Amino acid sequence: MFFSTIRFIIGLGNPGIEYEGTRHNIGFEVVDCLTEKLDIKLIPGKGDYLIGWKRINQQHVGIVKPLTFMNNSGVAVRDIAESYSTSTSGLLVVVDDFNLPLGTLRLRHKGNDGGHNGLYSLIYHLHSNEFPRLRCGIAGVTMPTNKKDMAGYVLSTFDKQENEIADRMIHRASDALFVSITEGLDAAINKYNTKNV
């Protein structure tokens, strides 16, 4: 039986109905998809986050949605790491990535923030970039060329054609998370680091 080093899966996003379905909230949507597949209910945690638990391969895995908004995600994630005495390598984070084409998944053991404010907040508050992350591509065919327009772009919703691709990506991403826990990160990397949506 495989025993995973992953203790928490954390989807980044913005709480509130006005952010539902936006590109920036893909991390929340992937976690929602996973909780539905595993029949997990998220409840308020000890800090500013929702959490649910599932026993997989005789290990308890926490599924988390921070409620501190994207740019302050690190505050909630630091609280989780400290409260549960978890190393950064035990935190698998799910985020959107405007540098990747819509439908593309990239799972890595560690890395920099890549211009993502949520990842920047985690790296700042955890004092480490050594945590695994699953990046979900949200870039459409045409992209903004300046930073101000990009801020609006990531808070926009997908169009009808993009929605179909995004939905398939969300389901593949949730499968990648499950494989990461049950078979290991490397197995998930080998299987899901493609644009097969």
24 is known as an active-site residue: yes
Type and span of the H or E element at 151 = helix 147-154
**Beta-carbon count within 10 A of 57 CB:** 12
Name the residue type at position 117: N
**Beta-carbon count within 10 A of 164 CB:** 13
| Phi, then psi, of 193 in degrees rounded to 5 | -80, 60
What is the CA angle 27-29-154, rounded to 5? Answer: 60
Q: How far is CA 175 from the centre of its chain?
A: 13
Which member of 24, 60, 116, 125 is catalytic? 24
Contacts of 76 (CB under 8 A, 6+ apart): 47, 48, 49, 64, 66, 67, 68
Q: How far is CA 162 from CA 7, 20, 36, 50, 166, in A?
A: 32, 15, 22, 28, 6
Catalytic residue set = 24
